[in-house]
Structure formats: C-alpha cells, structure tokens
Amino acid sequence: MKKILLIYLLLSLCLFPQKNLEKEIIKLIEKNKNFECNPTRKKFKVVGENMTGYVDEDDKPYGEWKNRDESIRECFLDDVRIQYVEGEYFYKSNNNFTLLIKDLENKKEKYVEFNFKNTSMINHHYFKYKNGKYKKIKLDWLHYRIVSSLTDKLIYKYEKIEEE
C-alpha cells in the first residue's frame, strides 16, 4: 500500500507543474490575444497608395500600420511586434514570448501556438480553441500564410506627410 501511495505522489508531483504551466500559458494567451497598439514616443504619419502608418524620428516603423480596408494591421513598438491578417492569423512577439493564433475555416475554432523566449530549449505549446475553451494538443508545427509587412518599401510605396 505504501508503494502505491508513493508512486501516486511521485506521479502527481510530475503532472502538477505541467497543468499549472498550461494554466499560466492560457492566462498569457487571454491577456495578449487582442490587437492593442499604444505608442509612447513621437511619431510621424506616412501614407501610401493603399496604406497608412507611422515612423519614429529615425524613419523606422513605429506605431500602427494598416491597409485601407484594415484587413492587414501591424504594430511596431520598442519591444513588441504585432501582425493581424483578417481571416488568417494574429501574431504577437515581445521579449518574453511569441503568440500565433491561426483562424480555422469555420471561424469558431482556432489553433494557438505559444513559445517562451530566452529559455534553453525549444518549447512550443499548441492549443486548440473551441467553444471558449483551450485544449492542449500535439502538433509538429503550425502552417500559415505569411503576409509581407506593410513597411516593405519594395511592395508598398509611402511618404512621410505630417507630425503627430
């Protein structure tokens, strides 16, 4: 009986940290899943044929960029990069983690990839979001269509027009 109890205790010690980690990751996903762009430094507006955005004093992208119909939106801050492509994906990267939320065909389900940065190992965590709940799943990788950044001067021609 003591051996069974000891085995049970050891197994629970091994499993609890994983469940707590999943809960913490889900909290981070929920906190960061929305597009929010709040620049704090001085910026200058740039306008192109099909897009608008902002640059900083060094003419580097800073603040929100979007195309005319807002199907592509990007945010460039000091330590955060966000890209949203309507019907495709939401991507957020900062100094601590990367988050990718991939929309599925029916729009009610999503795949979520979360990865901590600055760790000694590759640790992708995959979830499926359905009916308001996250379920950890096993995937090797997540396929998605990469969209060129609106800041790509070879594709999008733009010019600085005013001070913000």
* Rounded average pLDDT per 10-residue block, the chain, 164 residues: 50 56 90 94 90 91 93 94 92 92 83 82 82 86 66 65 63
Show the tokens assigned to 3.
């051996």
The C-alpha atoms of residue 60 and residue 45 are separated, in whole angstroms, by: 11
- How confident is the model at residue 87, as a pLDDT? 86
Q: Specify the residue for token string 């005013």.
A: 162
Burial class of residue 8 (count of CB atoms within 10 Å of its CB; 0-12, 13-18, 19+): exposed
Query: Which strand (E) or helix (H) includes residue 64?
Result: strand 63-67
- How confident is the model at residue 17, as a pLDDT? 60
At a CB cut-off of 8 Å and minimum separation 6, what does 111 contact? Answer: 101, 102, 104, 126, 127, 128, 129, 137, 139, 142
Show the tokens assigned to 72.
């592509």
- How confident is the model at residue 8, as a pLDDT? 47
- How confident is the model at residue 6, as a pLDDT? 46
Beta bridge partners of 130: 109, 133
- How confident is the model at residue 5, as a pLDDT? 45
The values of phi and psi at residue 11, to 5°, are -65, -40
Q: Dihedral angle at the C-alpha atoms of 152, 113, 23, 37, nearest 10 degrees?
A: 10
Q: Is 88 left (phi over 0), alpha (psi -120 to 50) or beta?
A: alpha
